[in-house]
Structure 1
Amino acid sequence: MPGTGSNSTHEALKLTRWAAAEGKNIEPETIARLSELEKIQLVKEATGSMDQASQVLELTDLTLLSGDDSMTLPLMSIGGEGVISVVGNIVPGDMLNLVKAAAEGDFAEAQKMHFKLFTLCREMLGLSTNPIPIKAAMKMLGRDSGELRLPMTPLCENGEKIVYLCEYGTIYGGENSMLSGLCAVQSRGFDLAVVCPPDTALSAQLSQLGIAQIPFTWVDSTGKRKPLELLRNELAKTIPAWQADIVHANSLSVSRILGPIQRTVDVKFVGHLRDIIKLNKRVIADISMLDEIYCVSTATRDFHVAQGMAIGKSCVLHNGVDLKEFAPSKEPVESDVLRLVYIGQLVIRKAIDVLLDGVRLAIEHGANVSLDLYGERHSIKEEAQKYEADLYRFVEANRLEPHIHFRGRTDNTPEILRQSDVLVH
């Protein structure tokens, strides 16, 4: 809302509920409380949830308008009063006829117009992030709609398709890194799809973002990862069906799987490396067979090049940081304790045992230090299970429970960082 409060403007205010774009949903109960403010008069409903729209209409007297063209008729059937339309910019007459028919109770005519517009709404405008496709369509019709504002760019004419390969359905660093950039890539006109295990946290998040998914199972019936050559054979058979221009392995382990696969179609294979970890010559050779290798830092690239990775194929692509979401606290918490925090998997390659021993030594030398560890172990390997158990035993054996805490998984990273002094990673 503009200004410093609800009464700081003389204009009516509109609430927009578009969870896929904003990443957050305004719950119906919250809207009910906001509706008590005089200046708030309508809701643009773009969540795609008829249940939530029904709750808003039941709890408030606000005018409800559809924010999704294809949901106009369903929402008007339960009390919505119109649409803030996208396709109305190129077929205003058809959209007007739909709304008029529904408002007059002529649902047979409204249904006819709904199905006439449905393909346009869901397919043409599904080419990329709004308003990229509609601006392209208006330009084709000779209607000036102005330039796109960055980070959006004009619709990609060749419509290149990128398919991302994700081994796990969990959402950790690598998955968050990918998710943070998908909408920006899509806004540049690329066709995207993500290969990942079905019915997982990752697949649910992709659905919320409107990103296409290709189900793929990397493990056998016992939960163990399939043998390397079996995975390569399965991928080699399915990759041509994806009709991808680029296949992007989203982790070091998947990069190793992808590299040697024989290609029967014209497609580029690329990999994304985030970990600094010793690799044997066979793994390095497999990764070096990719067309391009993206490393998250110069240190990561230099480390793997020193192990023999092809230097000419590698480049540095830094992870981005959302400065708004991860802004420092405006009111820092005053404390005599140096608050350390670790966020990541509880795995050997993270050298958490070294961190715990460092905290022990600091405390022995009189430092007032605390360490909170956020994360889980999701590897089922025996050595990984033993490593995690050893971490807990170390804390107990050295009586560090008052100082070191295993907090488990978190979805509140920004706030945790604001409450900490040092991030150890």
Structure 2
Amino acid sequence: MTGLAIYATGAMSFWPSSILRSFPGFFISNFIIALGLSCLEVAANPFIALAGPGELSEARLNFAQGIQGIGSIISPILVQKLLFTGINQSDLFRVQWCYLAVALFVVFLAVIFFYVPLSEASDDDLEAMALQRLCNTDLEQGVKAFGLNARRLLLWTGVALMWIYVGLQEPISYFWSVFLQDIKTRSDTFWDQAISHAVMAFGRFLAAGLCYFGIPPRITLATFTIGAFLTSLLAMVLHQGSAALAMLILIVFFEAPIFPTLFAMILRGQGKHTKFASAATTMAISGGAVWPSVVYAVVDAVERYSSNNGLVVVVVLYGVSNLWPAMICSSWVLRRWVDPVWSKRRVMVPEEQGLGSPRALNTPVLGHEKAFTSHLEPVPWVSPGAAGAAPTPSELSPMPVKPSLPVAT
């Protein structure tokens, strides 16, 4: 609700800015809106990832981001083709009413969320979930991969990858019209971008389906990251024509599921650090403010000015991005840590519970399992037939059978 309140405040502050026609006021109102959206991003993504079976976190987040992709298709069409046709600097009346309508709708949502009883996960609850998952994976707390703490390794390398990924996504969007002018001069920039948004939504729904039907998210992430690398490379090599345009649109398709899949994978197993991990991963979106400038500097530095030269940065960084899924797939510990199948509760057979075999007495108890069993008193194993052992079924005397009453005919 805090994020919604800040968002509504920023939208309402656009009204005086539009009346005064103040660029600083417009800048401040958009900054407040962005601050509210950041709060929503920190809260909404982990809520979607955690609100349900743990093995379907990536599927839920990809599906939710697919809905956002549908919004990215509809909103530009509404704004440019229906609501704000013929808008100029001196005609902001319809724009300010639109911002006011958005603000009132957001306030309405905040009121709904205030009265709807949403579940709240405390740090203790999140830590208990993480410990239960460790029990399922047979991993110890503080387990290491490549000589480093596995949880911290996945968190900080994942945040770095998110910073790079968002930084790669923004230049494609920011320089879209410039790319199209160099690739295919007669293309319709608006509708080509609408097609790319539709392809983006489809890519996220496809990834949601793959994760739902049991494809490991690390495989899904690796597939789409490799696809983004290859299509960006082909777009740079082909340079012009319909084939280059198709590759540019396919870049958007392959990059679409990376954010939600990566976000859910970073949060898995973080326990009491989940909220911090969510904030750190959201903070990595700041890469979108850095890499467009780098791409522009590369384009401007080349003697033969062409926006296509900026794809060199995209190709190189997508190649680097493939190292993260490769790192996970090459480590047994990291595979077990991120694979969602281990989020399911394991059904233990009697031998694993220590109820059917003396071998269970020799099974070591992991450190984090003691947290779940410390309140239980150990029961010593007594073999059948020993003194003090419970009688076997064959040793029990049969119970007398009570004669049945006669039935009237």
> TM-score, normalized by length of structure 2?
0.20
Q: Per residue, is there more helix in 1 or in 2?
A: 2
Please identify which structure carries the higher strand content: 1
Structure 1 length-normalised TM: 0.20
Structure 1 or 2, whichever has the larger Rg, is: 2
